[in-house]
Amino acid sequence: MLIDTYGRVATDLRVSLTDRCNLRCTYCMPEEGLQWLAKPDLLTDDEIVRLIGIAVTDLGVTEVRFTGGEPLLRPGLVGIVERCAALAPRPKMSLTTNGIGLKRTATALKAAGLDRVNVSLDTLRPDVFKTLTRRDRHHDVIDGMAAARDAGLTPVKVNAVLMPGLNDDEAPDLLAWAVENEYEMRFIEQMPLDAQHGWKRDGMITAGDILESLRTRFTLTAEGEDERGSAPAERWIVDGGPHRVGVIASVTRPFCRACDRTRLTADGQVRTCLFAREESDLRGALRSGAPDEEIARLWKLAMWGKKAGSGLDDPSFLQPDRPMSAIGG
């Protein structure tokens, strides 16, 4: 079991499969991209499956989320999913993606055992999408989401970050569109995980701002803490149901006390929190021939040292050196 000194138990594993991405979102990385991890530094498919196997069979993990970078850029993705679906007990498996490659992969991923997807889409306007991502791929994301829904990778959850002066007026339109297409909309506060370290607390679009905007068109009824459990999103019932909308307020309404996540980077480092400045190396142990029991012990030790909170509310907070694309969302 992955337990920390505050009694929290990690049962949700986020696995970054690559730090590479085919978009250049302004809140994540510079236009020229980043210096990507060298291939020898990345975990191999076998190493990823072995670590997930240890987490599921020895450490009590019940849910696995594949992330990036953009995980659809990982050549062995379908095989990794298929092998993890064969684990006993079988974990629930999901994928966070920008959606560009979903149209061609959704059916294969479903057949391999993937349960559902989260797709990032910040705007319904192709011109704004191009400004935000520096790529003209809006139609590919829309098509990919439809393919995921039709393949049965449901519920398809749509993640949007609202940015001042760009898409901050789109929350009601995005929710209406999601309801119409049977997607579940989730709005995420912009977090201090950009490679440029340009994030500023002042002026960011907060959960309060988002809810105020949504209530200009919809009646929202809080779902309640009992329903939320350890989920990062607070959810509201839209116009009496059955549709829901979620808001992930990592900055203004942190949910650290209920956190049940552990994170594995594409180069085999354990992270106890998105905002942690420390990591614990499992890749080195893997490649030096350590048995599963030793890997599990190192993972437990890393999680035992998890801090009480993210530190975002501390005036001395410093962003992690590694950006979101390297950490995995």
28-32, 132-136, 139-143, 322-326: which range is least confident on average? Answer: 322-326
Mean pLDDT across 238-262: 89
Tell me the binding residues for GTP. 14, 65, 96, 157, 261-263
Structure confidence at residue 308 (pLDDT): 87
Structure confidence at residue 286 (pLDDT): 97
CA–CA gap between residue 164 and residue 150 (Å, rounded) = 34
134-138, 164-168, 190-194: which range is least confident on average? Answer: 190-194
Confidence of residue 85 (pLDDT cuts 50, 70, 90): very high
Q: Is residue 65 over pLDDT 70?
A: yes
Mean pLDDT across 86-104: 96
Structure confidence at residue 288 (pLDDT): 97
Confidence of residue 226 (pLDDT cuts 50, 70, 90): low
CA–CA gap between residue 319 and residue 328 (Å, rounded) = 15
CA–CA gap between residue 120 and residue 183 (Å, rounded) = 12
Sheet holding 12-16, edge to edge: 220-222, 234-238, 244-248, 184-188, 157-160, 116-120, 92-97, 63-67, 12-16, 261-264, 269-271, 280-281
Structure confidence at residue 18 (pLDDT): 94
pTM for this model (two decimals)? 0.92
* Angle, helices 45-58/292-304, rounded to nearest 10 degrees: 70
Question: What percentage of the chain carries pLDDT values higher than 70?
Answer: 89
Structure confidence at residue 323 (pLDDT): 65
The average confidence (pLDDT) of the chain is 90
CB 282 within 8 A of CB 268: yes
Question: What percentage of the chain carries pLDDT values higher than 90?
Answer: 71
Confidence of residue 200 (pLDDT cuts 50, 70, 90): low
Q: Where are the beta strands (DSSP E) in 149-301?
A: 157-160, 184-188, 220-222, 234-238, 244-248, 261-264, 269-271, 280-281
Tell me the binding residues for S-adenosyl-L-methionine. 27, 69, 120, 191
Report which DSSP code applies to 242: S
Tell me the binding residues. 14, 21, 25, 27-28, 65, 69, 96, 120, 157, 191, 256, 259, 261-263, 273
CA 161 from centre of chain: 13
Tell me the binding residues for [4Fe-4S] cluster. 21, 25, 28, 256, 259, 273
Structure confidence at residue 290 (pLDDT): 98
Rg (CA), the chain: 19
Q: Is residue 194 over pLDDT 60?
A: no
The two tokens of residue 144 are 């990919």
Mean pLDDT across 301-308: 93
Structure confidence at residue 34 (pLDDT): 72
**Torsions phi, psi of 299, nearest 5?**
-65, -45
**Torsions phi, psi of 218, nearest 5?**
-125, 155
Mean pLDDT across 6-34: 86
196-210, 216-230, 263-277: which range is least confident on average? Answer: 196-210
CB 63 within 8 A of CB 94: yes
Which three-class secondary structure state does DSSP give residue 66? Answer: strand
Which three-class secondary structure state does DSSP give residue 322? Answer: coil
Burial classification of residue 312, based on how many CB atoms lie within 10 Å of its CB (0-12 exposed, 13-18 middle, 19 or more buried): middle
Higher-confidence position of 212 and 229: 212
Which three-class secondary structure state does DSSP give residue 260? Answer: coil
Structure confidence at residue 309 (pLDDT): 79
131-140, 196-205, 227-236: which range is least confident on average? Answer: 196-205
Confidence of residue 195 (pLDDT cuts 50, 70, 90): low
Q: Which amino acid makes up residue 101?
A: G
Confidence of residue 198 (pLDDT cuts 50, 70, 90): low
Q: How far is CA 309 from CA 200, 255, 312, 318, in A?
A: 20, 8, 8, 13
Confidence of residue 257 (pLDDT cuts 50, 70, 90): confident
